[in-house]
Structure 1
Amino acid sequence: MKFNKLGSSDLTVSEIGLGTMSLPANDTEAIHMIQKAIDDGMNFLDTADLYEQGRIESLLGQAVKGRRDDVIIATKGGNHWEAGKQGWYWDPSKKYIKNALKASLKRLNLDYVDLYQLHGGTIEDPIDETIEAFEELKQEGLIRWYGISSIRHNVIREYVKRSSIVSVMMQYSILDRRPEEEMLDFLAEKNVSVIARGPVAKGLLSDKGISKISEKGYLDYTEKALKHLIKELKENTNRTRKLSHTAIRYVLNHPAVATAIPGASRMEQLEDNLQATSAPPLSETELKTIRSLSKANKYTDHRE
């Protein structure tokens, strides 16, 4: 497993991490998967308080017990919910952010998290107040570093300008190349790392991807366009490399990306993700081919 520095922090993260949103419903299986990921070299484990109303954080805490020094734990907050109640609402207030982190620590059974991320955000938020919450949590030793999870250009630029974030989590894949338009080079220049979620695009960018296509398509791809693209990608990239590995290696190619976090709901998927670290790197010819076959998607909202 290769490891990369996360932005300006002192955190070193595995280039492929574990996204925990889709872990198995069975607790024992989920814990076993997390431990398998750690055993095989993944040290970056990403979760959120909103995932199954805290269940995933609790499972993660059980899985890493006795192995704290082996892992980088990242969680997220900002979606206000209460145990036992349905629904949630956005709450980036200082009071809620600090209380949410403490609740996450209790579920994780940890004294601190390595990376705490704002789970969304709008330009209308009290951004300075939110930043103050993160800075105080850092001073109190409850978090080591902080970042945000967003693809909104205006929000990202404000946090880069006004805070000491070390990372931005955003959806990025061959099917969703929106971050390439402005964000990746900008963040690389500012020494803020990208955590790429969804690199396999819900399994569409895999050898079984065609069977996963719905009538709705994906983003601005129609069902027909997806079938054609997946076929072309398989035929025009290294055939000894699985398509899912090509997809993961594609997002890791940009220097801004420190880690890719494909999700896994089964052990088979986790093992496939782990194998991507030893897959052959993409050649310049392959990169050009992928970019010519896929769409250079544009992000038109939240720019000002």
Structure 2
Amino acid sequence: MSIVLPGLIGTSSPFVFSDDAVAAAAVTTRCPRAEAPLRSTKTSPSRVIKGCWQLSGGHGGDRATDRTRGDVAVEDFASFVDAGISTFDTGPEACGYGDSELIIGEYLKTEHARKHRDEIQVFTKLCCVGREQSNMTKDWVMANVDRPRKRLGVDKIDMVQMYWNEYNQRGYVDAALFLTDLKHKGVIDAVSLTNFDTQRMKEMLDAGAEISTNQIQYSLLDRRPEKVMKQFCESTGVGLLPYGVVAGGLLSDRYLDAPPDKVVMNTSSLRKYASVVGNVGGYSWYQSLLKCLRAVADKHNTSIANVASKWVLESPVVPAVILGARNATHIPDHLALFDFSLDDADRDSIASVLAGGEQPTQDAYTWERGGKW
């Protein structure tokens, strides 16, 4: 059921990108890849990663355009791979991804996937949310890596990103080391994190865990990673894989000049990100940001969503951004990300609006754990 929102009260990059990403042709027909592998890996993702959260259920939105279920969801993967968007981000049921891994596994069985297997990558997650946090064992980690291997139908997982619910249980260090051991044994290629703060990232790195990336929420509406995490990543080479870069669609032309009582939250993603607007400046400020982004978009003949995505993608610690899509019609807009670059005037105008909003006071994912924004 749809609900109506009543009112949304210089450092050099550790990554090297291909020539296509730096100086795109007039019309980009394939998404470029990060040329340099991620830290401690041989893995280079496509610079746009297909987020598969939408395949979990609750994200269908308009039935006429929904392709998040069944055979049509499997079929859409071929279109993304043909466009060079060949890295997929998913997760197990424990992280709220439902049958997402199974749907990807069905695609990997297809003739199309077999022809493109060398370029396809699947990033999944290890979700530590229960009693295992107080008694983390190597066997538990192995069992919960084996499950997605079976669901995906693969021998080796390209990336496992660990989520940890209770920081007062410090088994996350052991879990990261167990994952690193599995990496050395060839079971996974990359050990990564999701929604960890900087302090815990440092603890794991100091213990010898070979952390490649941290997947976090990062957008023009959520700049918490810039407090301390971005500098830490610049110094260590750990990359950030941002999700929520268009705030579930709130950073798009669809909501420009929309009256607050007419904004319909008809997907889980929209409902999730709508609350962020109240933290960073309210609805009036949010509309001023959209107007600024529209002016920049007009200059580059692109969309508000692409300007918002480009702003994140141009960060020196971001090798790729995760963009969810309910169907393949989003592909041309994703590719248009590489047909323009933001200049100093663009960044200055955006920064001016951002300065007028509420500034974050805490690290990434602290608010979600009960802390301040």
- Identity rate, percent: 22
What are the within-5 Å matches in structure 2 for residues 244-263 of structure 1?
244-263=305-324
1:144 maps to: 189
What are the within-5 Å matches in structure 2 for residues 1-304 of structure 1?
1-4=31-34, 5=36, 6-23=38-55, 24-50=67-93, 54-65=98-109, 66=114, 67-79=116-128, 89=130, 91-92=132-133, 93-94=136-137, 95-124=139-168, 125-162=170-207, 163-210=209-256, 211=258, 212=263, 216=275, 218=277, 219-236=279-296, 238-276=299-337, 278-294=338-354, 295=357, 296-299=359-362, 301=366
Q: Say which SS state the counterpart of residue 214 (structure 2) adopts.
A: strand
- Quickly say closer, same or farther: Cα 1:131–1:52, change in 2 above 3 A: closer
Please, what TM-score do these two structures have when normalized by structure 2?
Answer: 0.72
Q: Say which SS state the counterpart of residue 45 (structure 2) adopts.
A: strand
Q: Map Cα deviations across residues 254-294 of structure 1 (whole Å, 9 max, x no partner).
A: 11101001111132234422332x33011122112212212
- Quickly say closer, same or farther: Cα 1:25–1:242, change in 2 above 3 A: closer
- Structure 1 residue 101: deviation in Å? 0.9
C-alpha distance in 2 between matches for 1:263 and 1:287: 25
Q: Is the 8 A contact 1:187 1:256 kept in 2?
A: yes
C-alpha distance in 1 between matches for 2:33 and 2:99: 28
Unmatched tracts of structure 2, length 5 or more: 1-30, 56-66, 266-273
- Structure 1 residue 161: deviation in Å? 2.5
1:83 maps to: none
C-alpha distance in 2 between matches for 1:271 and 1:202: 18
Q: Is the 8 A contact 1:8 1:166 kept in 2?
A: yes
Worse-superposed segment, 51-60 or 26-35: 51-60
Q: How many residues align?
A: 294
- Quickly say closer, same or farther: Cα 1:25–1:11, change in 2 above 3 A: closer
Amino acid at match of 1:199: V
Please, what TM-score do these two structures have when normalized by structure 1?
Answer: 0.87
Unmatched tracts of structure 1, length 5 or more: 81-88
Amino acid at match of 1:77: L
- Structure 1 residue 222: deviation in Å? 1.5
